[in-house]
Structures are given as C-alpha cells and as structure tokens.
Structure 1
Amino acid sequence: MKTRIFIVDDHALVRRGLAAMIALESDLELCGEAEDCATATSEIERLKPDLVIVDISLRGNNGIELIKNIKILDPRTQVVVLSVHDESVYALRALKAGAKAYVMKQDVSYKVIEAVRKVLSGQIYVSEAVSVQMLDRLIKGPEHFSESPVAVLSDRELEIVTLIGSGLGTREIAGRLHVSVKTVETHRGHIKSKVNLRTANELVQFSVRWVEESKRELA
C-alpha cells in the first residue's frame, strides 16, 4: 500500500513541483493539496493522509498552528515542514508543534523526499546546522547561547511581529488571521512587554528590523 501524502502550500508552482517529485516514487502518492489552513484542515480530516508537507507561511493561521491542528485531528499523521523561513528560529518551534522534519526551500529538491523517508522510518530530519545547534544546547545548556530577540515570543506573537514588519496595520492583521482587532491589540501589548518596548512606534521599528534581518539571512 502506498503512503498517502497531502501538500499545503500557497504557491501553485511549489505544489506542482512537489507533486511531480512524489509521482516519481513508486511507494508514495499524492492524495490532496490545499493553499490555506482552513481548506487544509477540513481536507486532511476528510482524507486522513499518512503524511502532510506544510509551508510555514499560509493564509489565515500560519503553518505552526496548522501542525498543531493536524496532530489534534490524528496524532499518527506525520508532518514535514518545507519553508523559506530561517530554520534557526522556526525549526524548533515546528518540532515542538509536532512536525518531524524541517526542510528549507532553498535546499536541493531531493532533500524533501529524503526528509519524507526519514520521517516515515521514525526519525527526525533537520539540517546538520540545526542538529549541531540542538545538541550543543542539550549538552552546554541554553545559557551559553545568545537567543534571538524573538525567542521569548509565542508562535502567534512571532507571526504578528512578522506581519507588522511587513507593513500591515492592526485591522489588516485581524482580517488576515481571522481574529478580532482587540485580540491583535492584546497580542501587541504582550509583545511589547516581552521584548521591553514602550510605544507602538518602537514595536513597528522592532518588527521591521526583524523582517529585514530575516530576509538578509535568506539572501
């Protein structure tokens, strides 16, 4: 019996590329795909795939929230994350949410299938750099590492920082995340408190700087 795979990515070209790779594997098959979290959640519940390939950046809730939802629907469903986002920031968050692999989109394509194979055999797949970082933290302790300025934020707070830094206002963010304006304002207050910011302008500057630094790291 073939392993049934579901793809969640908001770029049609990425979905087509992944589908083509899966089609080349005799023991794998594509059972469905979606471009946003709402559609993905309902389709995954209906189709019950063995493994889901998820992007972090999606319309509505982000990929981290989707991973949590997938594991609630069926803890046996395996998850592989494929993302452009800096793995040093997001890989551990994805693993904590329930994913078993984190692959950068900049990596060569065969690594996606390699990650899928590793996960299906019960292993975790991350890059060598992240693996070394995680082992160092385990052996030496977190006090020996300078944390990212966003390390103290929750997954949702980090998502809101990214949206603020991308130029979205409170009402736009509320619409994008399908939450109330009041909820976004509450998150903004928590973010300011956690990273020691006093004003809304300082929050915007912090968020823009974070987004720009993230883009430079991926360049």
Structure 2
Amino acid sequence: MKNSIRRDVLLVDDHAVVRAGLKAIIDGTPDLSVCGEAEDEAQALALLRDQPVEVAVVDLMLGKNSALASIKRFLQYKPDLRILMFSMHDEEVYATRALQAGAHGYLMKGADSESLIVAIRTVASGRIYLSPRVQSEILFNMAAGHPASAAGNVNVLTQAELAILQMLGSGQSVKEISKTLGRSLKTIATHRNNIRLKLELPSSAALVHFATRWVQANEVA
C-alpha cells in the first residue's frame, strides 16, 4: 500500500531518458513518489485530471514549444498545483520569466540529485525555490533599484525572440531558423530586426556576434 505521507510528483519532459533518471531519484526518496509521466502538455493535462498530483517537474521546452504558456493552463486546471521548472536553459535568463508565468521554482539540469530533492520539497511546502546565485542577483538588483532580473538586456525579448536569438548564436541562418520553426522567411527576418532594435545593436552582423557570445556564455555557465 502506498505511503500516505508521500507527495505525488508528475514529470513533464519530452525526453524519456530524463524522465527515467528523475523517477529513479525521486522514487528513492521516502517522502516523494512519481505518480505519472508526460512528454507534452496534452498528456500532462490528462494526468492532472486522473492523478492526485501535488508537484509537477516541468521542462522549459517541450519539443519546439516553450512550457511557460503551459504553466498557466496547468494552474487553471489545478490551481493548487506546485510547479518546478527543470531545464538546461540558463536560470539567469529564464527563472524570473518562469516565476512570472506562475511557476514556483527553477532548477537547471546540471544540478545534483540532492538539489533536485531540496527544490521539490521547497516548492511542495509552499515556498519558492531558486538557486543561491539567482536569489543573490535578484536581491542585488532590487537593492540597487533595478528590475528584479539577473539577465541584462535580453529580458526585453519575448520568448519567441529569445528562441531565435539562441538559434542565431548557434550558427543557424534565417533560412534554417525558418525551416526549424515552420515560419516564413519574412517573419523570421522581422523577428531578427526587432531583436536587433531591442538590443540596440547597429547591424545584423553585430546581432550575430552578440548572439554567439551570449550562447557561448550560457554554455559555460
């Protein structure tokens, strides 16, 4: 019989190997148990309907789609759900965005298993989980009178623009990005120009240079 003191955790990640690793860690913890796994939003919503989920561990990117919009739908479906974002994408860029979307914590996939369990327990208890680094950055910016964000000027970009910036920094051309996202060349070119203007860069070449350095910095982080 299942131990009633265990908190039920839903895993939402489009990579089966990631879910398997998370499940092994979580199920090996006395007070936590994985009650379901989903690879996309539709599967997650079905499990939220059928399972007594208390905490959802959600990848920031589900396929080609950002899960930030999914957070709002999860909470509309189950308002008392606690959500921990678990992602390879830099927390200094995305943690604040995730919290603004309704998540209760953010953990990078490079974290160790102990940090994962601490993060899940923290959000399950009704608190917010962020790494000490991001907490310090947010507090510093608040004290200095800056917006509560640690990411610099990339925070002026939308989710779609951030995705395109990352693709540009990874060496993809406008044509390749258009094919990847299934959008027209004109649409991608318009996004690229909007990104350049928002970042106050003088040319497309300067944008590519900035994007490349930004991607490299995030990989190092």
TM-score, with normalisation over the residues of structure 1? 0.82
Q: Distance in 2 between matches of 1:88 and 1:125?
A: 14
Q: Distance in 1 between matches of 2:158 and 2:97?
A: 9
Q: Which residue of 2 aligns with 1:127?
A: 131
Q: Which residue of 2 aligns with 1:184?
A: 188
Q: Distance in 2 between matches of 1:62 and 1:176?
A: 14
Alpha-carbon RMSD across the aligned residues, in angstroms, is 2.7
Structure 2 SS opposite 1:81: strand
Code of the residue aligned with 2:99 in structure 1: it is: L
8 Å Cα contact 2:38/2:44 also seen in 1: no
Q: Distance in 1 between matches of 2:216 and 2:63?
A: 21
Q: How does 1:196-207 map to 2 (within 5 A)?
A: 196-207=200-211
Q: Which runs of 5+ in 1 are unaligned?
A: none
Q: Relative to structure 1, is the Cα distance of residues 136 and 25 closer, same or farther in structure 2, using a 3 angstrom cutoff?
A: same
Q: How does 1:70-85 map to 2 (within 5 A)?
A: 70-85=74-89
Per-residue CA deviation, residues 24-47 of structure 1 (Å, 9 max, x unaligned), is 234433233344xxxx21011111
Q: How does 1:28-177 map to 2 (within 5 A)?
A: 28-35=32-39, 40-48=40-48, 49-142=53-146, 148-177=152-181
Per-residue CA deviation, residues 73-107 of structure 1 (Å, 9 max, x unaligned), is 44432211222332222211221121111122222
Q: 2:180 matched to 1:209?
A: no
Q: Which moved more, 1:177-186 or 1:76-85?
A: 177-186
Q: State which of 187, 196, 199 in structure 2 corresponds to 1:195.
A: 199
Q: Relative to structure 1, is the Cα distance of residues 160 and 123 closer, same or farther in structure 2, using a 3 angstrom cutoff?
A: same
Code of the residue aligned with 2:196 in structure 1: it is: K
Code of the residue aligned with 2:46 in structure 1: it is: R
Q: State which of 5, 16, 27 in structure 2 corresponds to 1:23.
A: 27
Q: Distance in 2 between matches of 1:77 and 1:174?
A: 36
- How many residue pairs match? The answer is 213
8 Å Cα contact 1:62/1:159 also seen in 2: no
Per-residue CA deviation, residues 41-69 of structure 1 (Å, 9 max, x unaligned), is 10111111332212234421124344344
Q: Relative to structure 1, is the Cα distance of residues 181 and 68 closer, same or farther in structure 2, using a 3 angstrom cutoff?
A: farther
- Share of identical aligned residues, percent? 39
Q: CA deviation at 1:195?
A: 0.9
Q: Distance in 1 between matches of 2:150 and 2:32?
A: 41
Code of the residue aligned with 1:85 in structure 2: it is: H
Q: Which moved more, 1:18-27 or 1:69-78?
A: 69-78
Q: Relative to structure 1, is the Cα distance of residues 32 and 181 closer, same or farther in structure 2, using a 3 angstrom cutoff?
A: farther
Q: Which runs of 5+ in 2 are unaligned?
A: none
Q: Distance in 2 between matches of 1:58 and 1:181?
A: 24
8 Å Cα contact 1:61/1:177 also seen in 2: no
Per-residue CA deviation, residues 157-189 of structure 1 (Å, 9 max, x unaligned), is 112101121122334434444545444333222
Code of the residue aligned with 1:6 in structure 2: it is: L
